[in-house]
Amino acid sequence: MANKAYSNKVAIITGGSSGIGYALAARLASLGAKVVITGRDEGKLQAATATLAAQGAEVLALAGDVSQWQDCERWVGETLQKWGRIDLLFNNAGISMRALFEELDMKVIRQVMDINFYGTVYMTKLALPALIQSQGAIVGVSSIAGYRGLPARTGYSASKFAMQGFLEALRTELMPHRVHVLIACPGFTASNIRNAALAKDGSAQGESPREEATMMSSEAVADYILKALEKKKKTLVLTTQGRLTVWLNKWFSGWMDKIVFNALAKEKDSPLQKYM
């Protein structure tokens, strides 16, 4: 069913073949938008495209690496070539990591920053002229880790803090252009991000350390993001636990250091367990 806020809008969603990105693509398509999904795994992209197309979606799948300027440039160019405009940019592509910083190979920090932060910067820079022309919107899919640093996730937390600072500054810059910027911070969400998280040597973690079934679904997160975007919200912090973490960290940061440490040390195979 078309929605006037999204009908015939052109949306680029990085990391759109699974998780929150795919849920955003499916929801936007159902509301009448044209969607571009990007990702590194061409097989997953094609499978996602087939499913979306079978549901009547107008969808374009573009493979590549968001951490590479040339790929981002190609994605924006092909979108404009096909549909002539960009109304919505969802900077969703991301990767996590879990390891103690003292044991961490520096390539892990670089990879996480390249994807989570520089990928956002590249896509935003390249799409910005079209977004200014359409008076569109930019969404950064961040994390509670962008408000509260998480032990054993130093690189991930740093990338999300950087993303949020960049987008907050940009939001203020873009006020005269009437381009809206939303920073969306889901709590723990059922997705593939923890399975693909990097270990200390850069290899994939392979198995989620958390109970995925108890988390908010990607579909629910996508719905919250789109509703917040319609209402022109500047920030969105999801889940009771997430909002409480942000609030308590602002006023009781010392106490929260202990709470967060103990909570994450209880994860399966947590590197923090050696200190317990």
Tokens of 240: 């009771």
DSSP H stretches of helix in the chain: 19-30, 42-54, 69-83, 106-113, 119-134, 154-173, 218-230, 240-251, 253-265
Q: Domain range holding 112? A: 10-244
**What is residue 173's predicted lDDT score, i.e. its pLDDT?**
98
Whether residue 252 lies inside any domain: the answer is no
Q: Look up tokens 């270990």; give the residue.
A: 199
Tokens of 143: 């994390």
Rounded mean pLDDT of 199-225?
Answer: 81
Residue 272 lies in a domain: no
In a domain, 173, yes or no: yes
- Whether the pLDDT of residue 263 is over 80: the answer is yes
What percent of the chain stands above pLDDT 90? 88
Inside any domain, residue 65 = yes
Contacts of 39 (CB under 8 A, 6+ apart): 14, 15, 16, 17, 18, 21, 45, 61, 63, 93
Question: How many structural domains comprise the chain?
Answer: 1
Q: How does pLDDT run across 144-156, given as a tens digit for each residue?
A: 999 999 999 999 9
Whether pLDDT at 186 is above 70: yes
Is residue 249 assigned to a domain?
A: no
Residue 2 lies in a domain: no
Percent of the chain with pLDDT over 70: 94
Q: Look at residue 4 in the predicted model and tell me its pLDDT.
A: 79
For residue 210, name the pLDDT band (cuts at 50, 70, 90).
Answer: low
H/E/C letters for each residue in 145-196?
Answer: HHCCCCCCCHHHHHHHHHHHHHHHHHHHHCHHHCCEEEEEECCCECCCCCCC
274: in domain:
no
Q: Which of 147, 156, 224, 275 is catalytic?
A: 156
Output the pLDDT for position 209. 58
Q: What would the mean pLDDT of 218-240 be, rounded to a whole number?
A: 96
pLDDT for 208 equals 56
Mean pLDDT of the chain: 94
pLDDT, position 205: 76
Q: What is the pLDDT of residues 72-121, one digit of tens each?
A: 999 999 999 999 999 999 999 999 999 999 999 999 999 999 999 999 99
Tokens encoding 92: 């969703």
110 in a domain, yes or no?
A: yes
Is 156 annotated in the active site?
yes
Q: What CATH code is carried by the domain that includes residue 101?
A: 3.40.50.720
